[in-house]
Amino acid sequence: MEPLTTSIQLTFLGTGTSQGVPVIGCDCAVCCSPDARDRRLRTSAMVEVGTKRFIIDAGPDFREQMLREGVSHITAILLTHKHKDHIGGLDDVRALNFVDYPDEIHTVHIYGTHDTCDCVRKDYDYAFAENPYRGVPQIELHEFGAEPFEIEGVEIIPISGEHSRFEVTGFRFGRLAYLTDFKSIAEEELQKLQGVEVLVINALRFEPHDSHLSVNEALEVVERVAPKRAYFTHMSHDIGLHCVANLRLPEGVEFAYDGLKIRV
């Protein structure tokens, strides 16, 4: 396995909700803001562990995110859950399949829970057909459970949570953990986060929400995990202007923004 001392870099590919920011048809101060930090694609991240590159979630903005970061090869895609803002861009992995064509065709390896993989098979049934037509995504699904698993020598620890009535999975890479779309997390899952130095967690807005952590609820998790640094993601336009909202957070905690890179 890659040792825990290996450099880990996380890039926030997107930090917005299922609608993104700006929201279609909205003229609030955030949606009209000229500050690039207030423009949020659907939530996704890229984690680079040594030479390995993992994409967490591939929503509707996957193509734009890959182009912006200049990505041409990935090790795997990790899916947190089955909602469209997290799997809606998987058809665009076709470009990664054929980036070295005709010398080589790269199968894209996608990891998810049984329920999430079932949804991918249903939504992208044409990619799994017995006689698929030319040009369909070359995808290989891998299911994981509650136990840690390994991809090309990198250990990944799944962290289970509840997204209202849906299951959602976060991931720990050494001293970094990434959780999104959580509403609650059991004590035994919190224990898996002990020793994490950098925690990324969702914080939809300051007001409570029935299926996502609010800022105060996310801060409670941060306090219990006690990382050195914490970053909030999956923010709606209700969070307010980045330059203002960030001032409301305690030291060591900040709202992430698209394109932000952090190193562990």
CA distance 80 to 214: 19
Longest dimension (CA), the chain: 56
Percent of the chain whose predicted confidence (pLDDT) is above 70: 98
- Cβ atoms of residues 45 and 200 within 8 Å: yes
- Cβ atoms of residues 109 and 77 within 8 Å: yes
Strands (E), 144-195: 149-151, 154-163, 166-173, 176-178
Position 213 confidence tier, pLDDT thresholds 50, 70, 90: very high
Model pLDDT for residues 20-30, shown as the tens digit of each residue: 999 999 999 99
Instruction: For residue 14, list its beta bridge partners.
Output: 44
Burial class (CB in 10 A: 0-12, 13-18, 19+), 32: exposed
Position 1 confidence tier, pLDDT thresholds 50, 70, 90: low
Taking phi over 0 as left and psi of -120 to 50 as alpha, with beta for the rest, 255 belongs to beta
**pTM of the entire structure?**
0.96
Position 197 confidence tier, pLDDT thresholds 50, 70, 90: very high
Model pLDDT for residues 24-74, shown as the tens digit of each residue: 999 999 999 999 999 999 999 999 999 999 999 999 999 999 999 999 999
At 164 the pLDDT is 84
